[in-house]
């Protein structure tokens, strides 16, 4: 593994900044996380976080809406803002030499957003249109509802919002929501790429150092619990969408890498069990996958398959059988492939500034520290078949949440 230097800096106002200089790249990437995600929304105001992420960027400090966007573009920034369950996340990248021009724009955005009333209606229409667009994507629609059904509220809440909640949200609600979230004590900034630590640290200090906490420290909702259920929704589509989830562990759990390895054995590469049994051997569907989804305090494995209605029951049956079967035996060659895939992916992550900036910030949020890629590789490398078997004894694959959408409901024996 190529070596890396990661430095952590906590400003006096509580904001955490993580730096990872990367040799041989020209770009620098950032991930800025503000604790203003969907879990902080009022229960009948799902969509507040999504509205906040949009409104926040419509002018700040001396810049109006258009001027702010133009100022980012003057320095060639590629940027993107999105609401997640936990945070508003602002990500982007530019050439390394431009960071000192771009970071001050985020300083204005977080400290002096304009939040003009005359922009608010357009913000809410945008949130609504985005949700209508997701309705036209059956797979996304299914996965949103599967997550909602899999966790206790507020952890299953969709960060994009909920259509019939939007009318409950007014501009003062969003202002108050941002008033709580725009707080340096919970803010995290990851910077990776073409940067020099001393200069970057000075820059961060000059932009964010005097940002004073306006409210008490962020209080996170009680960690999530997971839930099980079986449901179906009727939908006039060519394919039936099948979603299955089952309990796993959080990113901060000591068992995380064992949980991750099991998901990789199920669905990592094209030799993985779900792909092999469902697509390659039986030709039941084009798209089948499983992924590990974690929230603070809990995690679920989310599985997806999309297939024509006539083959949907068989697909669900085989999917459930394969999931139950994983505990029966894990072969050493499967684990060896998982390790090889992990090693390769970790080394290749060193080529992407965006990937590193995101990992730095997410690690800090979930763990309160940053794991180096070498540390991750070691943890994966040390896993044994016995470790995975023991993990499955502690966390059996059951308590399924099953959700299907399509022309007819399916039967599930759970």
Total binding residues for other proteins by CB under 8 A? 79
Q: Binding residue for other proteins (CB under 8 A) from 16, 84, 313, 352?
A: 352
What single string gives the DSSP state of each residue in 170-232?
-HHHHHHHHHHH--GGG-EEEEEES--HHHHHHHHHHHHTT----SSPP-PPPPP-B--EEEE
Nearest approach in angstroms of CB 284 to other proteins is 7
| Helix residue ranges, H only, 299-372 | 309-325, 332-349, 353-367
Q: Binding residue for other proteins (CB under 8 A) from 144, 224, 239, 245?
A: 239
- Name the residue nearer to other proteins (CB basis): 219 or 270: 270
- 16: exposed, middle or buried (C-beta count within 10 Å: 0-12, 13-18, 19+)? buried
CB atoms within 10 A of CB 66: 10
Nearest approach in angstroms of CB 327 to other proteins is 21
- Name the residue nearer to other proteins (CB basis): 67 or 196: 67
Nearest approach in angstroms of CB 136 to other proteins is 5
Residues 75 to 104 in contact with other proteins, rule: CB under 8 A: 75-80, 93-95
Nearest approach in angstroms of CB 218 to other proteins is 28
Residues 276 to 295 in contact with other proteins, rule: CB under 8 A: 276, 279-287
**Which of 181, 148, 176 is CA-nearest to residue 162?**
148
**Alpha carbons 28 and 273: distance in angstroms, whole number:** 38
- Name the residue nearer to other proteins (CB basis): 98 or 324: 98
With a CB cutoff of 8 Å and minimum separation 6, the contacts of 289 are: 267, 274, 303, 304, 305
SS3 category, 28:
strand
Residues 306 to 345 in contact with other proteins, rule: CB under 8 A: 306-308, 311, 333, 336-337, 340-345
Nearest approach in angstroms of CB 264 to other proteins is 10
Q: What secondary structure letter does DSSP report for 376? A: H
Nearest approach in angstroms of CB 262 to other proteins is 15
With a CB cutoff of 8 Å and minimum separation 6, the contacts of 344 are: none
Our finding on whether 361 is near other proteins (CB under 8 A) is no
Our finding on whether 379 is near other proteins (CB under 8 A) is no
Our finding on whether 272 is near other proteins (CB under 8 A) is yes
At residue 403, φ and ψ (nearest 5 deg) are: -135, 130
**Alpha carbons 296 and 304: distance in angstroms, whole number:** 23
Q: Which two tokens stand for residue 358?
A: 């995101």
Would you give the binding string for other proteins spanning residues 391-410, x where CB under 8 A is met?
Answer: --------------------
Decide the pairing of beta strands 7-10 and 229-234. Answer: unpaired
Residues 219 to 238 in contact with other proteins, rule: CB under 8 A: 235-238
Nearest approach in angstroms of CB 78 to other proteins is 5
Nearest approach in angstroms of CB 303 to other proteins is 16
Q: Binding residue for other proteins (CB under 8 A) from 66, 222, 331, 369?
A: 66
- Name the residue nearer to other proteins (CB basis): 241 or 294: 241
**Alpha carbons 398 and 414: distance in angstroms, whole number:** 8
Per 3-state DSSP, the chain is made up of helix, strand and coil in percentages (nearest 5) of 45, 20, 35
Our finding on whether 385 is near other proteins (CB under 8 A) is no
Residues 21 to 40 in contact with other proteins, rule: CB under 8 A: 23-27
Q: Of the ranges 65-73, 82-90, 164-172, 390-398, which one interacts with other proteins (CB under 8 A)?
A: 65-73
Q: Of the ranges 5-13, 66-74, 164-172, 396-404, which one interacts with other proteins (CB under 8 A)?
A: 66-74
Our finding on whether 162 is near other proteins (CB under 8 A) is no
At residue 291, φ and ψ (nearest 5 deg) are: -145, 155
Residues 119 to 158 in contact with other proteins, rule: CB under 8 A: 121-126, 129-130, 132-133, 135-139
**Alpha carbons 328 and 397: distance in angstroms, whole number:** 11
Nearest approach in angstroms of CB 105 to other proteins is 12
- Name the residue nearer to other proteins (CB basis): 184 or 354: 354
Q: Which two tokens stand for residue 13?
A: 């106002």
Our finding on whether 380 is near other proteins (CB under 8 A) is no
**Which of 1, 56, 65, 68 is CA-nearest to residue 32?**
56
Our finding on whether 65 is near other proteins (CB under 8 A) is yes
CA angle (263 as vertex; 192, 286 as ends), nearest 5: 100
């Amino acid at each position: 593994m190529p070596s890396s230097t990661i430095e952590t800096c906590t400003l006096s106002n509580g904001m955490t900044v993580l730096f990872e200089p990367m040799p041989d790249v020209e770009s620098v990437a950032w991930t800025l996380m503000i604790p203003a995600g969907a879990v902080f929304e009022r229960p009948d105001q799902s969509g507040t976080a999504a509205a906040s992420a949009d409104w926040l960027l419509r002018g700040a400090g001396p810049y109006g809406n258009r001027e702010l966007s133009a100022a980012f573009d003057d320095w060639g920034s590629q940027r993107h803002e999105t609401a997640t369950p936990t945070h508003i996340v602002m990500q982007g990248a530019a050439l390394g030499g431009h960071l000192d021009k771009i970071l001050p724009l985020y300083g204005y955005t977080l400290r002096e957003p304009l939040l003009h009333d005359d922009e608010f209606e357009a913000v809410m229409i945008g949130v609504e249109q985005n949700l209508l667009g997701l309705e036209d994507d059956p797979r996304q629609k299914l996965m949103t509802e599967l997550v909602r059904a899999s966790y206790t509220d507020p952890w299953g809440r969709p960060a994009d919002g909920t259509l019939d909640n939007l009318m409950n949200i007014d501009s003062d609600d969003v202002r108050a929501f941002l008033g709580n979230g725009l707080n340096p004590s919970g803010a995290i900034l990851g910077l990776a790429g073409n940067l020099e630590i001393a200069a970057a640290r000075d820059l961060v200090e000059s932009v964010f150092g005097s940002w004073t906490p306006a409210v008490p420290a962020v209080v996170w909702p009680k960690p999530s619990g997971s839930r099980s259920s079986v449901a179906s929704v009727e939908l006039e589509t060519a394919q039936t969408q099948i979603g299955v989830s089952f309990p796993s562990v959080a990113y901060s759990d000591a068992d995380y890498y064992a949980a991750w390895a099991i998901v990789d054995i199920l669905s990592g590469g094209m030799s993985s069990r779900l792909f092999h049994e469902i697509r390659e051997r039986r030709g039941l569907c084009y798209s089948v996958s499983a992924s590990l989804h974690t929230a603070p305090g809990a995690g679920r494995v989310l599985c997806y398959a999309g297939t024509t209605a006539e083959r949907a029951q068989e697909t669900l049956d085989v999917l459930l059988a394969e999931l139950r079967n994983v505990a029966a035996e894990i072969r050493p060659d499967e684990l060896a492939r998982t390790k090889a895939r992990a090693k390769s992916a970790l080394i290749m992550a060193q080529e992407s500034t965006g990937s590193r900036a995101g990992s730095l910030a997410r690690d800090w949020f979930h763990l309160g520290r940053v794991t180096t890629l070498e540390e991750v590789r070691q943890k994966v490398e040390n896993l044994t078949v016995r470790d995975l078997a023991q993990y499955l004894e502690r966390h059996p694959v059951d308590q399924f949440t099953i959700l299907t959408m399509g022309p007819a409901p399916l039967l599930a024996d759970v």
